[in-house]
Structure 1
């Protein structure tokens, strides 16, 4: 069975969990039919999924893009939350929670000492052009790079007393390791996928921190690239339309804007995080995920009956 997930060349924590996660919880996937797909961690239920082969879904979400025409024929073990279940017309019992919550049952960092009073983790797309390390340093907050290796990120989250995060899977992993967290949105409004996940755990994250993007501009680039970017910006300002080339990064944010966002982040760090699901609800969802994993593994091995099912969790 082929694992289908979004891969970004620069790295992206939530999606990058997939290869490690599935090798741990369901190693039988590699033994089953290569002519079928598994959709796991991520917002993957959309038109981008390959067609023309059987599809099994374990914990994925919907909400980004159109639903595939063949989705009615897919085999759903569970989905991320009730919003996804409703969109697909599935029974509410299929809305368990995001599978990444099982990380706490798969991996425990050797060093769990609280080294950081507060950490900040941007979304990987914000990290591309954002000046987050400088912003965090000015605010007295530890910066977590969302494109870093998976275990480095998990270790830093666990070693934090609280996490402020624009990345939803930063919040999911913090929540399962019982690290209080606060959600961030550039516009002040969270993507509906957050509500899908939070409703699966029957809670609300409370106030959302509105932290606007702070751009680092061209200062770190070579002179030739800086000139090219300036020329592109000039062309864009004259034409008003995006031309047929890679757009330049935004200009460096002003000092006033930078200082305003520093104050917002430092104030949020001082006040403290507001999100943490009920432990009893979380443990019940994790138990249910484990039950469904056993079913998935057994279904995979039904295609290779000579192999015995061994515990994975």
Structure 2
């Protein structure tokens, strides 16, 4: 199949999971075959990822809606097996079922138990959103906190990043797939919010987090907001001088860094989905993967048994 996902030039762990995971479950990529759409919030109208697919079959396997002012629509070339969460399902008036984020299929791989069982090395690890990298030296931030830094760019490869998360006792994540992989590996996690309201948009960010969280039956989770841009005295002057035509906010690095250090240090509450929820996800995804493998005629060298918690 042709694996369709967003590719950032500098790398992004959440998206890059696609290129590592799906060949293990469904075989090496065949660009001329059906399109397979897995991990990502990439279901939206006029997406450039789908522009050249034409009448090819488009298999959706746990993908999420990216919210817009118009609901995402699809024709009969789309084969939606399941969606990421209930908010994505609502887009289609609940015509299609949801299970959870496609990344939970990591639990179906032969290497999963080996990755999950790595020795714990880090008390707390921090995974920022990949677009937050430009604002701070995150290694220095983590060194100052006494925490372990895990790069969302996954420079050493996806599997290395998976093992780094598994080797952590707790994870503090701005990157959603940092939290998702922690949950998959049964590592308690906590969310912080820094650049996402500005880099991907608050509406998109909150939608995709709530879509995932509700799919794993977590409804009242805490997050830690850190204000990236803020108004200064210059804002008032500019607004007055421009007749309310200019509203200015500024990134004051020292102030934001102090708040970031203070708030991350203060995080004490971590989350983890219930084992029974994970067992249900495992069972349903196992069946969906087995059905698709049978349809495309792919038989892996060995098929892992379902992991039971």
TM-score (norm 2): 0.78
Matched residue, 2:147? 141
Deviation at 1:89, TM superposition (A): 2.6
> Which string of whole-angstrom CA distances, capped at 9 and with x for unpartnered residues, describes residues 104-147 of structure 1?
34223387222111111001111133332222222221111001
Match of 2:86 among 62, 71, 82: 82
Counterparts in 2 of 1:140 and 1:155: CA distance versus 1, 3 Å: same
Matched residue, 1:126? 132
Q: Secondary structure at the match of 2:103?
A: helix
Matched residue, 1:209? 224
Whole-Å separation in 2 of the counterparts to 1:300 and 1:28:
12
Q: Secondary structure at the match of 2:133?
A: helix
Q: Secondary structure at the match of 1:117?
A: strand
Deviation at 1:292, TM superposition (A): 0.5
Whole-Å separation in 2 of the counterparts to 1:116 and 1:125:
24
1:200 corresponds to 2:215: yes
Matched residue, 2:237? none
Residue segments in structure 2 that go unaligned for 5+ positions in a row? 230-244, 305-309
Matched residue, 1:6? 6
Matched residue, 1:109? 115
User: Is 1:38–1:58's contact at 8 Å kept on the other side of the alignment?
Assistant: yes
Deviation at 1:67, TM superposition (A): 5.3
> Which string of whole-angstrom CA distances, capped at 9 and with x for unpartnered residues, describes residues 24-81 of structure 1?
1111764xx8242111111121221234122111110002456555345411111101
User: Is 1:26–1:312's contact at 8 Å kept on the other side of the alignment?
Assistant: no
Whole-Å separation in 2 of the counterparts to 1:79 and 1:122:
25
1:266 corresponds to 2:274: no
Deviation at 1:251, TM superposition (A): 6.8
Deviation at 1:102, TM superposition (A): 2.6
User: Is 2:228–2:256's contact at 8 Å kept on the other side of the alignment?
Assistant: no
Whole-Å separation in 1 of the counterparts to 2:171 and 2:2:
33
Whole-Å separation in 2 of the counterparts to 1:90 and 1:29:
31
Whole-Å separation in 2 of the counterparts to 1:121 and 1:44:
22
Match of 1:292 among 267, 277, 288: 288
Deviation at 1:252, TM superposition (A): 6.8
1:91 corresponds to 2:95: yes
Q: Secondary structure at the match of 1:128?
A: coil
Whole-Å separation in 2 of the counterparts to 1:177 and 1:263:
28
Matched residue, 1:157? 165
Could you say what the CA RMSD is over the residues aligned between the two structures, in angstroms?
2.7
Give the number of aligned pairs: 268
Matched residue, 1:60? 63
